[in-house]
Amino acid sequence: MARSRSRLPPLPVVVVMVMASLLLQSAAAAVEPHIEMVVNDNKNKSSSSKMNDDYCHYQFTVRTSGWVLASGTDSTLTFYVWDHYGTGVHVSQDGSGWPMFESNSEDVLNFDGPCISQPCVLVISTDGAGWQADWLMSWLEVVVTGGDGPPVEAVTFYNGRKGSDGVGGTWLGPNNKEMQIDLC
């Protein structure tokens, strides 16, 4: 009795083209994030704010929850941080370019912007678009360096209880496009 060999069929050209397309989308997603200075008119301004003509370096480390398989997103997310004077910056990043904001991942956004003092308010908004539009953040850490003021200590914003990986926290998506964490 002859033994038949088990062979996998060759990878179809279509699959190779899709994989190449995903790699190109990934490279396109590596473009510089959109950065802008924002002033929250609802807060009282003070002349003692760290904001000045100097620029600081910002590093946002974003942890997407891993407790639910579909907690990643393909939407564009915008992260706003304000200090207690109402001065802040924001950065937008498109999540449709693999592998940003995927389930159980940590993503780092580095950018330069006008200096602010200690961040204490985080607002995250989504455009609610994309194939997987919902998103569950576990935590976000903000580190600010540079400028002529004192160094700013790292601040971590937790979605829900610390150490909960976002369980019980706020989901973002087409039906809930914004969340806020206020530590001021």
| CATH number of the domain enclosing 70 | 2.60.60.20
Gap between the Cα atoms of 171 and 121, Å rounded? 18
Strands 34-39, 87-94: pairing is antiparallel
Examine residue 18 and state whether it is found in any structural domain, yes or no. Answer: no
Examine residue 17 and state whether it is found in any structural domain, yes or no. Answer: no
Examine residue 169 and state whether it is found in any structural domain, yes or no. Answer: yes
All residues at 6 or more sequence positions from 99 whose CB lies less than 8 Å from its CB, including other chains = 26, 105
What's the rounded mean pLDDT across residues 135-161? 86
Examine residue 9 and state whether it is found in any structural domain, yes or no. Answer: no
Q: How many domains does the chain have?
A: 1
Examine residue 132 and state whether it is found in any structural domain, yes or no. Answer: yes
Gap between the Cα atoms of 165 and 142, Å rounded? 17
Its domain, for residue 112, covers 55-182
- Do 71 and 159 touch, CB atoms closer than 8 A? no
Examine residue 28 and state whether it is found in any structural domain, yes or no. Answer: no
Residue 77 vs residue 51, higher pLDDT: 77
Residue 105 vs residue 53, higher pLDDT: 105
What's the rounded mean pLDDT across residues 21-44? 39
Residue 53: pLDDT over 80: no
Q: Which amino acid is at 78?
A: T
Q: What is the pTM of this model?
A: 0.70
Q: What's the pLDDT band for 166 if we cut at 50, 70, 90?
A: confident
Q: What percent of the chain has pLDDT over 70?
A: 67
All residues at 6 or more sequence positions from 106 whose CB lies less than 8 Å from its CB, including other chains = 61, 62, 63, 64
Examine residue 127 and state whether it is found in any structural domain, yes or no. Answer: yes
Examine residue 78 and state whether it is found in any structural domain, yes or no. Answer: yes
